[in-house]
Structure formats: structure tokens, C-alpha cells
Amino acid sequence: MKGNEAVAEAAIRAGCKCFFGYPITPQNELPAYFAKKLQASGGVFLQAESEIAAINMVLGAASAGVRSMTSSSSPGISLKAEGISYIAGSDLPCVIVNVQRGGPGLGSIQPSQADYLQATKAMGHGDFHVIVYAPCSVQEMVDTVFKAFEIADLYRMPVMILADGLLGQMMEPVSFPDFTLSEPTKKWAADGHGGKRKKNIINSLFLQPDDLERTIRERFARYDEIKARETEAELYMTEDADIVLVAYGATARVVKSAVNLAREQGIKAGLVRPVTLWPFPEKELNEGAQNARALLCCEMSMGQMVDDVKLAINCSKPVTFYGRTGGSIPSPTEILEEIKRIGGVV
Amino acid sequence: MTHEILAAGFGGQGVLFLGRVLAQAGLIDGKEVSWFPSYGPEMRGGTCNCSVCLSEKPIGSPLVTHPSVLIAMNTPSLEKFIDFVVPGGVVICDSTMVDTEVSRDDVKAFSIPASQLAADNDLKGGANIILIGKLIKETGVFTRETFKKAIEKIVPPEREHLIAGNLRAAEIGINS
Amino acid sequence: MAVIFQKPKSLSDVTQHYCPGCTHGIIHRLIAEVIDDMDIEGETVGISPVGCSVLAYNYFNFDMIQAPHGRAPAVATGVKRARPDLFTFTYQGDGDLAAIGTAEMVHAASRGENITIIFVNNTIYGMTGGQMAPTTLSGQVTQTTPFGRDIKTAGYPIRVCEMLATLEGTAFARRVSVDTPQNVREAKKAIAKAFELQKNEAGFSIVEILSTCPTNWGLNPLNSLKRIREEVIPYYPLGVYKDKTKEGESS
């Protein structure tokens, strides 16, 4: 199954009842799958007039207490930024998938990881975060979709799945485990008070500075909980690693191959793969890098994650970068050469 | 054994479908598999290729940059990728569409006029499957039984009538 | 003693922030009255815009969502698609609806989305201090058209009802005014009709209400009402521009 289709199937199984989207390559299989399957499972698929309308339809459906989702690729995600900010500011749960392509501008339609900073640091105006998951296989995309809906409801906030054109377009075997859904009762939803409760207001406007500050501080207290409970990373051959590579998503697969090649040549390389990009797995990175002499960050961008890596280890070790951008995918041999270049030769 | 297969041609020749059959066959044989298309902006007629990895081990990059098997369905595809084939690798060309010789002597090169054979046998659009037959014959990457199961799995029920033609096309390749 | 006049149940008992002479208050009341009459407060979700009426969520007693600027029809679409059993309307000003929200408005209408837009047209951006709106009349002085709106550079004022009436999905489009007691009564009828149509799943409905902005027009309340009659209505004639329930009947 293609990654994009697998995400859509997983979402339907995760109780997603509304999908609103807009065509953009390389994520088109995702809305197409919903268009074919969502109605049959009692849900709603709607192709919106724009990315902006699509995210605001998600805002409306999520306000009404229904599991909702949208997907797009980089330029479309930029357009959704406004709506994502409102959704975060209104404490609404939803799932957003970004099948990244090359940028800036119209860029390319090939895989890229150049939206890392947007996703983790500035997904819109204002003081807020979205939880960002970076799966690295079609199976992990499926598993992440389930988790994303649950986590979004649990913390009442948008969850982003940061994929890329490679993960979206590739086919891999995938299984859909039986998931037990635990969608909470949404007492806060604007779904008609029925004369049984006070009215609910879904809102991000607080004209009194003290009020706005209080809501933001409350939200950031929740962010602290998320940091403590939901941060995830995979450590691969890091125990004795001299050189620790840091990579996420599709690039992490390539890096894993490079680590294996390096090990075959007697170079002690390892990989720390952040699974959540926000919150960034600082503790896990330090654990994985404790015996390392140097760190090598690999991305399909010009190095957007490097600063997070440096901050996580408090600049205690040299951190270098190797990446390809513009839609090119690094190869394991390229990365192996880089490992050797920075001193991993035994 | 890991097979890193790159199939390439014009859009519309069934390159992506060819890749899907290979991936499905690998899956039936219990292997780790991946399929990744190179996608261009055009819907029809552009150059097109797809990477298929079949392995006993988890697959790293699904993008094949140094194929152990290259299936070339036109001249530009052969010219573009021939230098990247690993030494000792296999190159299979549709000689109806490829008008140059394989320039390397450290690879095992095979030619079969797949498009012509497809036309002669009333198997329009079946050149891709004839090439799979050739691949089965020359590499034993999987068996004809596995191929049959893969085709039966991939062809949707409403197009069941196409299964027989695909099986016939594969036999032409295997017996060539 | 018999109560002959009271606050509608659907209207909150809070002080509204609108300027003296502004007709938002009247329009809020009309909506609340209709919702009371239809007894649908418990199933209503209103969408407030960005603009003067942003705080409308505080003024009604039913569930409310505050939408991003111009996006209210998309938000209403999300609510309605997710929960078709709910009753949904947007409350939008001219800048919100006819400038930044043009796409959302047109496509909600085009889809025949079963929602109602209450469109308050006072020919100016009120909350931001009186800038030119898409509906600002030719020659009208605003903060950003200090010499009067020049159609050569700023283009023509948009007639929303006429435009949306051309779309197949629009079931009902009517322009009313709240400048006289008689027109206020007509405005209520228009709102009631639009809401009834939504209850009957007839599709998209819009009621455009010509409204005042004494503060930014630089007129007192009475002269503001006079301006509606003398300047605004001539360019934006009152009337029914689309009524699917009447189609086929001889007019």
C-alpha cells in the first residue's frame, strides 16, 4: 500500500469522520482514498475551494466535537498556517498531515524535509506548539495516525504528521492492528447545548492581556506534560558509538543503511532518530550520544534540525551536518563518505 | 540476497505496474519489500521509473541509486542508468524500444523484443510483463508460481479477464 | 402583570460593546427572536466573524465559534458536514464576507451548503477604524479613501446578493434594511425565511442587512439612518434576489 493511502485507511479506522482537503502533489492519493472510502464508513469527505477553507472546515468540524483531519504538502501547509494557529488558540484537536516537498515557493514535487522549522517552531502566529510526529515507514505512518488522533483529543491540540514525498509515494507492506479507540466525551464542544448545559464558546480571542496570558500559560503547562510523557526517539547501535548520526523520517532509513555500512567497515556509528520532533527528544539524544565524539545531523534540507541537536547536548560535542535539498534524496554511500570525512575512520 | 531493481521507460509503458508486480511477488515470498516511483509533473508520456527493493533484511532507502537489476524499456532509460548498475548486475532491455547496445562488459545484459512480441501475440501493453518473464528466466528472483499469485492479487476483480493475458505474456518472456 | 416586551431568551444578559446608534444590536435581537420563535436555541451553533461583531459569541445564549477573518462559511461548513442535525449560521460584516472571505462565501453558496449567512453591510470596516470596504460607495470618504472612493483606482462596490443569486446552490438571497420600524419587521421576516429554509434542508441562504456605522460615517444616529435611505439603498436596492421556493411561480 502507498504511504498516502495507508494514512487515509488508518485515519478511517481511527474514527476520523471528516476529511477536508485540496489537491497538491505528492499527497493526492490521500484525499483520493478518503473520497472513495470515507463516506461508506459514515464519514464526510469534502474537497474544499482552498487550503485555507479546508483547515477552517476542520476547525468547524473539530469544534462540533468530531474527529477531523486535513492533509497537504508544503506550499499548502503554509496556507493553512492561519487556521492552525486558530485551532491551537481555541484548544481544538485535529490531525494535519504534511507530505513535504521541496521549497521555498513552488519548489519541487520531490521529497524534502525543509518544513522542520515551520512545523516545530512556527506553525503560525502566536505562542503555541503542535505535536509533530516524524514516522519513517509506511507501517509507522499507520501506527502514528492512531496515536495522533488519541493524543490530539487527550491534550486538545493539533497534531502534525510530518511525512515527505518519499514516505507518501512509496509502497511497503503494512498491517492495520486492531486499535481500541478511546475518544473522550467532548464536553467543551459547540454542538448545541440542548438546554442541558451552559453555552460553549470556541474562541481564541482574549482582549484582556491577563486573560490571554493565563490561557497561554495554561496551554504551556500542558506542553510541559506532553514533553514529559510523549517525547519519543529510537536509538540504533548507539551504546558504543563514536559517531552518532541524528536523522528523522525518510532520511533516517538512509542513515540506518549508512550506519550498517559503517559498522561493516569497523566504524562505530549509531543513529538517534527523533520520532517526535516537537517535543524534541533531548534526553534520548543525550543518552544516545553519551559515548560519542561527534554528532552528524542528516536531513533533506539545509540543516534545519542542527540547532535543536546542538541545544539538546548543550554544544558539548561537535555537531556537523550533511544533507541534500531541493528534492534530492541522500544515498547511504554519500552519508558513509561523510562519516569517514568527519573522522570516523578506524 | 537483496535485489535492488530499477525499471524505467516512458510513462504509459506500464513501468509502475511492472514494479508493483515485483513488489507483490516479493511480499508473497515473505521478503521485505519497497516500491517507490519517480514521479514527474506530467500524467502521460514523461520519463518514468520505479525502484523496487526485495530483501531478507529491513530496507533502508527505498530509492535505488545503484541497481542490481535494470529493466530498460527505452533508449534514454538505458543511457541514463547503465553506468549506475552494480558490477555483475543484470540489465534487461526491450530491444523493440532500445536501439543501442549495452556498453559495459561487467554486467549480464539480455535483450528481448518485448513490445514486438506483445504486438505479435495480441497482448497490447504487455511488454512490461514479458520483461518480467525474462527477469524470472535469467535471475530466478521468484518463481512463475509466485508471479501467478502476484498477478491474481494485483489485478482487481472487475478486471479479472486480464489475468490470463498477463500469464501468457510472462510465459513468452520465460520461454524466450 | 402581563409581560408584553422582554429580552429574547437566546440573547445574553450582558452589555453589548457596540457604538451608540449602531444597528448591530437590532440585528442581534432579530436573530435571537427568530431562534426563540423556532425554539432551536439548543441545537444552534453560531459563527462570529472578525470585525465589530467578533464578540457576538458573548451576546447569544447558544453555542458559538469565533472564526478566522473571512473563514466563517468554511467553519460553518465544517460544523454542518460533521453534524447535519445542528442549525448553523454565520454573522459577517462586509470586509469579512466580501473581501478576505470572498472565496469561502462564493464556494459555500456554490456547493449549496445548508447554512445561513447573516451579512451586515455598513459599507465600511468598523472595528479597525473606518477603512474602505468592498461595499464602500463610490465617492465615500473613509480612512483609506480620504478623497472619496475613486472607482478608477479602487474599483466598484460589490453587490453580494446579486452575485450569489447567480449561483445554482443559492436557495435564498434577500437584501433588507433596519433603517425604519417597517424595514426592521421585514428584516425579521427575511431571517425567519432563511432559517426555515435551512431547517427544510433547502441549501444556502443569505440575508444582507444594510446597517449603519455612525462613528465611522461621521454622522449622528438619525442622519445615519437617513444615509441608508438616501445613499445606500439606491445602490443596494432592497428585495429578494433569489428564492428557490418561489421559482416556477409567475411573478
Distances (CA, A) of A326 to A302, A313, C73: 9, 29, 37
Which residue in chain A has the smallest CA separation from C43?
Answer: A192
Domain range holding C176? 24-243
Q: What is the pLDDT of residues C167-195, one digit of tens each?
A: 999 999 999 999 999 999 999 999 999 99
From C45, C68, C74, residue closest to A64, measured CB to CB: C45
Q: What is the pLDDT of residues A100-110, one digit of tens each?
A: 999 999 999 99
**pLDDT above 70: residue A131:** yes
Q: Is C30 helix (H, G, I), strand (E, B) or coil?
A: helix
- Could you give all domains of chain A from N- to C-terminal order, each with its CATH number? 3-230 (3.40.50.970), 234-344 (3.40.50.920)
Q: What is the pLDDT of residues A262-276, one digit of tens each?
A: 999 999 999 999 999
pLDDT of residue C2: 83
Q: Which of B126, B90, B131, B129 is nearest to B112 (CA)?
A: B131
**pLDDT above 60: residue A305:** yes
The alpha-carbon gap from B38 to the nearest alpha carbon of chain A, in Å, equals: 8
Residue C14 in domain: no
Per-residue cell: C77: 461548513
Confidence band of C1 (pLDDT split at 50, 70, 90):
confident
Residue C15 in domain: no
Per-residue cell: C156: 466598484
Name every chain A residue with its beta carbon within 8 A of the beta carbon of B35. Answer: 170-172
Chosen from C39, C75, C87, C100 to mutate, greatest number of chain A CBs within 10 A: C75
pTM of the model: 0.94
Q: What is the pLDDT of residues C102-114, one digit of tens each?
A: 999 999 999 999 9
Query: How far apart are the two ends of chain A, measured CA to CA in Å?
Result: 41
State yes or no: ipTM above 0.90: yes
Structure letter (DSSP) for residue A340: I
Mean pLDDT of chain C: 96
Q: Is B132 helix (H, G, I), strand (E, B) or coil?
A: helix
Per-residue cell: C159: 453587490
pLDDT of residue A344: 55
pLDDT of residue C251: 42
Within chain B, where are the H helices?
A: 15-28, 75-81, 114-120, 127-139, 144-154, 162-174
CA dihedral C101, C106, C108, C114 (to 10 degrees): 120
For residues C69 and C53, the answer to whether their CB atoms sit within 8 Å is no
Q: What is the pLDDT of residues C6-19, one digit of tens each?
A: 999 999 999 999 99
pLDDT of residue C248: 61
Indicate yes or no: CB of A169 within 8 angstroms of CB of B34: no
- Per the structure, how many domains does chain B have? 1
Arithmetic mean of pLDDT, A173-188: 91
The alpha-carbon gap from B101 to the nearest alpha carbon of chain A, in Å, equals: 28
Q: What is the CATH number of the domain that holds B77?
A: 3.40.920.10
**pLDDT above 50: residue C237:** yes
Residue C27 to residue C104: CA distance in whole angstroms:
23
Name every chain A residue with its beta carbon within 8 A of the beta carbon of C9. Answer: none
Which residue in chain A has the smallest CA separation from C61?
Answer: A199
**pLDDT above 90: residue A343:** no
The alpha-carbon gap from C64 to the nearest alpha carbon of chain A, in Å, equals: 5
Residue C19 in domain: no
Within chain C, where are the H helices?
A: 24-38, 56-59, 72-82, 94-95, 102-110, 151-154, 160-165, 181-199, 214-217, 221-227, 233-235
- pLDDT: which is higher, C181 or C4: C181
**pLDDT above 90: residue B40:** no
Confidence band of B47 (pLDDT split at 50, 70, 90):
confident
Residue C221 to residue C227: CA distance in whole angstroms:
10
Arithmetic mean of pLDDT, C121-134: 96
Domain range holding B81? 3-174
Residue C11 in domain: no
Distances (CA, A) of C144 to C97, C219, C220: 19, 18, 21
Task: Return the half-sphere exposure (C-beta side, CA atoms, 13 A cut-off) of residue C210.
Answer: 29
Chosen from A2, A172, A256 to mutate, greatest number of chain B CBs within 10 A: A172
Arithmetic mean of pLDDT, A265-288: 98
Query: How far apart are the two ends of chain C, measured CA to CA in Å?
Result: 46
Q: What is the CATH number of the domain that holds C63?
A: 3.40.50.970
Chosen from A112, A170, A260, A273 to mutate, greatest number of chain B CBs within 10 A: A170
Q: What is the pLDDT of residues B77-132, one digit of tens each?
A: 999 999 999 999 999 999 999 999 998 999 999 999 999 999 999 999 999 999 99
pLDDT of residue C71: 98
**pLDDT above 50: residue A290:** yes
Indicate yes or no: CB of A63 within 8 angstroms of CB of C79: yes
For residues A99 and A165, the answer to whether their CB atoms sit within 8 Å is yes
Residue C2 in domain: no
- Per the structure, how many domains does chain C have? 1
Q: Going along chain A, which residue ranges are E strands? A: 18-21, 44-47, 68-72, 94-100, 131-133, 158-164, 201-202, 233-236, 243-246, 269-274, 276-278, 294-299, 319-323
